[in-house]
Structure 1
Amino acid sequence: MEKIANGSVGPFGGKGGAAWDDGIHSTVRQLIIYKGSVVDSIQIEYDDNGQSKWSPKHGESDAGERNVVKLEYPDEFLISISGYCTDDDSHRTVVRSLTIQSNRNQYGPFGTEDGKYFSTQSNSGKITGLHGRCGLCLDSIGAYFNPDLSISIGPFGGSGGNQWNDGVYTTIRQLIIHHGAVVESIQIEYDKNGRFHWSDKHGESEGGQRNLVKLDYPDEFLISLSGYCTEDSDSAVVRSLTIQSNKNIYGPYGIEEGKYFSTLTSGKIIGFHGRSGLYMDSIGAIFEPFSKPCQSIAVGPFGGHGGDEWDDGIYTTVRQIVIYTGLVINSIQIEYDKNGRSKWSEKHGEINGGVRHPVTLDYPGEFLISISGYCNTHSGSNVVQSLTFESNRRTYGHFGTKIGTYFKLPITGGKIVGFNGKSGYCLDSIGAHYEPILDPCSQPISIGPFGGHGGGQWDDGIYSTVRQLVIFSGSFINSIQIHYDRKGRSEWSQKHGESSELRTINTVKLNYPGEFLISISGYYGQVSGLVVVRSLTIESNKTTYGPFGVRDGNYFNIPPTSGKIIGFHGRSSGDYLHSIGAYIEPFFNS
């Protein structure tokens, strides 16, 4: 498999047949796909500056079922192609299934979802051409992208009210959200090349609570929108919104009940669209992709404005952290890794003494993914009062006193490769540099486990995918058992923990092989003096299952990344699931 290079992804599949390349066009208007037990052929109608141009038919057979994907040109365009490839009867690797995703809809799957999954991802831009190999059928397929295009995600919610679209701007300055039992209205102040512009108010009611989200323009920008909508399909409305920037999380505004949605992708929000009437019926966002797929981004700093500014820069990873605490965070010092060599930062904060807290990561397999804490007024200045560090395997802290205003460096699907902030007498503020976790050619990575250290360690290892999970829950998670798939063969794990007739049995059965897991979140806390997993929520590429158990205690999240979950590990005993983690495989993994 090939990585993104000069706007080209793939091809994915086998090396049989002859190479074909349609070249680069303005956009795609429609596709004709013939499929039987494999994808027999594909033919594409492109657009070249307003003129239609048909490609040759790629694949000789058209004996199967004919499927037409006709896009709503010029407003609808392709952003991703995914599918499965496997060996045919003559033991040649070919494409068995295709799913087409546009900025408005998903088409397919066309064919049999069996074999090895592939995806061009949906954050690389607009597809402007296809290439691959073909003979009697379609052997492989890849795509050309225009990476400098904004991408529309959503809207999420119902189909009531009237459609609205604010269009594309440079960035967002602030938002005004009215909410009661539902989100009643939203109004956005945009920025267009330095000039402000207010949108119309989307939603007529404003009887609820007014919330102002004012970004630190121009350095702060939005990267994600999430929330909940009611379950009633067509008549659904938005019940809650949470806004995430590169520096902070705002909300939730409204009631977090119903069906969860999220726009998480690799870019910044430059516009909104949706439907509204009396209330907010649905909402979506327009993203501008970050300029480089592997570009690091800075998040924060959080805290006060006193002290002197510092920035350690960008490294390969973090090896350990030494924190001194007293009434506040006195100081922090970090040992980085630069291509295998150790490098200590300066000590940020001047106070000597206090309680020393070393955080030593299991380098190189363990790395930091998030920081949270509290900032509060001390001796007339706003400073960092408490810090908690989260790695791909466990949570460290809290260190200090949890008093004041909470902050969190959001989990962005990346790892921390550097810190920045301000310090003087103590640590005034802290932020971090992130880079993407999953390199397209990397091996599966381990994240977690999250929870307590009781019970015995278990590790199911690595499989092709997950078919289903059986979770026993009450006021905590009693046990979990996973049904894996290994190259088409079913394998059940052992039961991790113990079940009880008094507990609720929750079965999460995925629509194998097209549906797979991308994230797990939940809560862990104390039960009978032990730290155990109290709640689990399972997220697939198609829907969200749960929560199962009681959402109380410390929140954790195995974040959605550009990969799928292919195994679990953790700790359990005869009574509890003490902790849980996961193995993630990049979609591009060859």
Structure 2
Amino acid sequence: MSWDDGKHTKVKRVQLTFDDVIRSIQVEYEGTTLQSQRRGTTVGTKSDGFTLSPDEYITDVSGYSKTTFSGDIITALTFKTNKKTYGPYGNKTREYFSASAPKDSQIAGFLGTSGNALNYIDVHFAPISIIPKPVVPDTKPGGSDTKPVDPDTKPTKPDGSDTKPTKPDGSDTKPTKPDGPDTKPVDPDTKPDGSGKTGLIGGKGGGKAFDDGVFDGVKKITVAADEYSVTYIKIEYVKDGKVETREHGTIRGTLKEFSVDYPNEYITAVGGTYDHIFTYDTTLITSLYFTTSKGSTSPLFGEKSGENFDLKGENGGKLVGFHGRGDTALDAIGAYFDVPGKTRLTGGKGGNAFDDGVFDGAKKITVGADEFSVTYIKIEYEKYGKVVTREHGEIRGELKEYTVPNYPDDYITAVGGSYDHVFTYDTTLITSLYFTTSRGFTSPLSGEIRGEEFNLKGENGGKLVGLHGLGGTAINAIGAYFDTGSQGGGGDSKPDGSETNPGKNDLKPDASGKTGLVGGESGNTFDDGVFDGVKKITVGANEDYVTYIKIEYVKDGKAETREHGEISGELKEFLVDYPKQNITTVGGSYDHNFSYDTTLITSLYFETSNGITSPLFGKKDGENGENFTLKGKNGEKLVGLHGRGGTAINAIGAYFDTGSKPVNPETKPDDSSSGTNSDSSTQKLDAQGGKGGNEWDDGGDHDGVTKITVTAGGLGVEQIRFDYLKNGQPKEGPVHGVKGRRSYDERFEIAHPKEYIVSVKGWYDSSNVIQGLEIKTNTKTTDYFPSPFSGDGTEFSLEVKDKKIVGFHGFADSGINSLGAYFAPITSKTGKKLKAVGGDQGAAWDDGVFDGVREIHVGQNQDGVSFVKIDYNKGSQTVLGDGHGQKSLAVVETFKLENPSEYITEVGVYYDKVQIEGRGVTLVTSLIFKTSKNRESTPFGMTGGEYTELKEEGHKIVGFHGKASDWIHQIGVHVAPVTN
């Protein structure tokens, strides 16, 4: 049934009923005497809602929906106002929608369709007609302040600040006496209330009230202070990816900045002092400092004088806004901190309440269950690197343990299970529990699924950081805390202008290609963002550390330059033959510098895609401190740098191009492609099947699939596990989904590498759970399991021409909702990589696997082989290989094969340790090639030292790999079986 409430002055109240879907919505509006109508049905098991204050209005409505056999249904709704967020109400599924009011407008009416549930919802917009109430500073817990601030204040500057003009040089005369003398400071109410807002600390009545409200986070803070007090503060907030600035006070005295590597790092504490200033007969903020989630502390702004204060959010929540009072100086200050997400309790009402609070994460959970219910739960949390244990209930029945794999890289994101009325005890208890991780792993089911099912999740896949509930001799009810992005080190350290510990070495790039920072915690944050590539890097370094870096990027064919640090010491340049050549590695070292009591980058070097290594900038590698190497996951090119610096480079990180490797799932491989391009890369097909579930991903970096275990039950395919071969070694995959009580298994064995999966077919019905799967290999095809396709449902297929499946991903909850796959070229995985021989110096290179070798070009100097370049066959095309090493002044010699009838069967390698620039270096000194026509090349280089033959009986050489700098240090081969 369609309905339309029309447009009104403002929404007054919203009431909803819901269970796993939204059953009804009822909205009361201001400016009308009409009775509000319930839209939908009242059968929802839960009822909740909210009432807006007179100066509050709705700015955004978002939610989730799912498609059933009877049509679309709204499953969850969230409402945002100009003050806070209400919800989510209901159950989040995969289809997301939202409606946001335009600027200076509000949501003032709803329309939609409904029956037994809410099927569709839309909104009416109207101008905002609310006059904001005067701000009343909250200075004491439960108390109010003196007179409210007059809303008709002086006009502000266009940027929203309310400062008075100052002299051009930033200096000013002494401040005028702040408005409203006061003699007593405010009692420091430093704990945040339920909304995350702390009380004000500082002076009681002076200055004009300000309230920035709540943002996503803080990037940068600028503070001015003179000999008396903090005079000015400027905050650069982030909201929906955009920077918004707020300023308070008057610029006077010394200006200092503090930048945060947001969102990787965020402010978790605001500290400082306040004191009565007799010169002005008022209390002012005399100093400020800030502590971040990584434990670093800003410089001290101002001078410590008077009473100390320390504002922190609950459980390490991040700073998201300021409020306070100020005019010619900063009189008082307070803060907003992000509140971690706490779910409601699910289950019964009996038992004693427990609340573990919030930790950094959960590493291991032990659950006990008997024939009636879950009786016991033990959680091993982590806090600041230490394990903290909490236990609830009584140990009875079967105990099962679940350790989170690869914690902290993987973590629990959902708590699922069921609850039911147990007539033996005449009470409602938790009857089953299971846990799902960020990578899609699912724990064993503890207990039996009986009664109502539930699934507790945080916003945006937030990790589980705590549990609360009810329990005694069993677990009556359970709820959870999920990290909303605000967890991290609380940081009790005080500012002293120094830091002694290097930053966390998060060397692996994330999904966007951005690595963590390595080095120290000091300095101003810089972030160059992402470009097309790098042409040239100039580095300055003295005898102790790297002082300066200048990068010439390329963007849309044009050069763009970025500089960081200060030029001092020796300057060196490194040129790249872009776009033929790309930087793929950033290496170096960092160490604590005792002269400045801080950690700095002490050396840098760069490696390229063809194995060339730059000069070392700074101290000799490994001389002092910690070494680091930043690389993309699959040899991607460097496209940007970020870090921290001032008069030197304190820390550095990198962006690597993640868009240069994957293939569009809609694109078919093309045999005419050349080089190590998309045809030799892994291709990911999106998950196919029903909606819903938690995402999981086994990855696509395997050699192949060796076994599939499918568990079937009443729901359909309830659980699945894939076993793989990775780097020649067996790898048992994680379990996805939940195995029911009356389920049974079917196993499919694949004799890899002779046999491999080429496609998977499946079908699903209105339950959104897969009902049957068919596995096809290059040698056989299975029947549908567990159920053949009946025609009443939807079929899907995962297949890419000339490629095999090397990994799976998908969505699962209590069953398998959908399935996707990673595909790799069949030819690229049937080859075998023989270990390289020679020395360990130089940058690694690998041409990959081709059909055969056409020509080999070898250059040499007086020390050994200095350069190799191999041209290959790929189908009917010639692929010109990259050069490795450095071309010498001597003529490069070439060895040609008679294609396609001739191929290389063996490579003879001489290698030896030679003295170069006063140090011993192991080089390849000579190469000899033997072919299928019993031809043997003349030795390229000097035959001396160790000798090894690279070959495999019945195979031909189809690719080369190794290590190189100005010489070839190491060489190896790829081989493939010889076929007719």
TM-score, structure 2 as length reference? 0.24
**Larger RCO, structures 1/2 (Cα 8 Å, 6+ apart):** 1
- Bigger radius of gyration, 1 or 2? 2
Structure with greater strand percent: 1
